[in-house]
Amino acid sequence: MADELSLAGKAAVVTGAGAGLGRSEALALADAGAAVVINDMTDRADEVVSEIVAAGGKAVAVKGDVSDWALAQSMIDTAVSQFGSMDILVNNAGITRDTMIFNLTEDKWDDVLRVHLKGHAATSHAASVHWRNLSKETGQPVYGRVVNTASEAFLFGPAGQPNYGAAKAGIVALTLSTANGMHKYGVKANAICPRARTEMTADTFDANTASGVDPLAPERVGTLVRYLSSPASHEITGQVFVVYGNMVTLMDSPKIEHKFVAADGTFTPEEMNEQLSTYFEGRDRYNTYAAYSLAAIEKDALKTE
């Protein structure tokens, strides 16, 4: 393996790594030589640790709720104490509580935002404190990689997942802030929007009927995470990638579509109506969430609470 792709001597923390994407990402990092702290709420974390160790790698489990800031700190501390460094953070833990906005409950909002967004923030904070302190001690940039898990839901606002879409939008903003705030310390932070067949998406994607490797196999996402965690990615930060099948798509920053300008410097209601109505005439600017087949999600979400 080329040195720039090797993670030998590096230590990683992967949240939600007991199954699905997190497990595949943890295994990919371990295969590249990284020692891995496996986080999950369940004993499946121990199973992934055993799998890595059996293959000749190094891993340890830290079980618990990723949104607990004390637990997030313990993950970073465990990487340092057990493996001698903390170099890579992969945030993957998440849940869904599908519902239409008119059926949304406070609990369903809080649960999804807590696990996804607060969970990402807790570990990102703990890791950033560690890297900033280390950079100040050494007077040099550190090796730091953050890979956060967003979703195309942040772009399209799925009708049956207002909580999930909002959380994923927050994760993208958090990632960009981390990239900007930690750049001078050497840390690279990027977000991925994966499409993968996992327990969480079991009712979203149709069954795989393709021959060969499943185009939605989590392992395809693990390859990108492995790359973004490697020395080879040293020039990539503050980016958002969509990944599935045989492709990785780099998202562009939002662009201005059109600018409306008041003729005399200040809009009157009539002039604003004239300009905007003319521009949007005959166009229903409703965003169809075409990235996924959401029929199953929205069917369940429409149910009365």
Catalytic option among 10, 108, 168, 188: 168
Please indicate whether residue 151 is annotated as part of the active site: yes
End-to-end CA distance of the chain: 53
Residue 180 one-letter amino acid: N
Please indicate whether residue 168 is annotated as part of the active site: yes
The number of angstroms, rounded, from the C-alpha of 167 to the middle of its chain's C-alpha atoms is: 10
- Phi then psi for residue 124, to 5 deg, are -65, -40
Please indicate whether residue 58 is annotated as part of the active site: no
β 247-250/144-149 pair status: unpaired
Measure the CA–CA gap between 250 and 243, rounded to whole angstroms: 9
Residue ranges of E strands in 27-160: 35-40, 59-63, 88-91, 144-149
Q: Taking the CB of residue 243, how many other CB atoms lie within 10 A of it?
A: 18
For residue 211, list its beta bridge partners.
none
Residue ranges of E strands in the chain: 11-14, 35-40, 59-63, 88-91, 144-149, 187-194, 240-244, 247-250
Catalytic option among 24, 67, 128, 151: 151
Catalytic option among 24, 118, 143, 164: 164
Measure the CA–CA gap between 270 and 284, rounded to whole angstroms: 21
Residue 129: name the closest of 80, 63, 176 by CA.
80
Measure the CA–CA gap between 149 and 221, rounded to whole angstroms: 11
Q: Which residues are catalytic?
A: 151, 164, 168
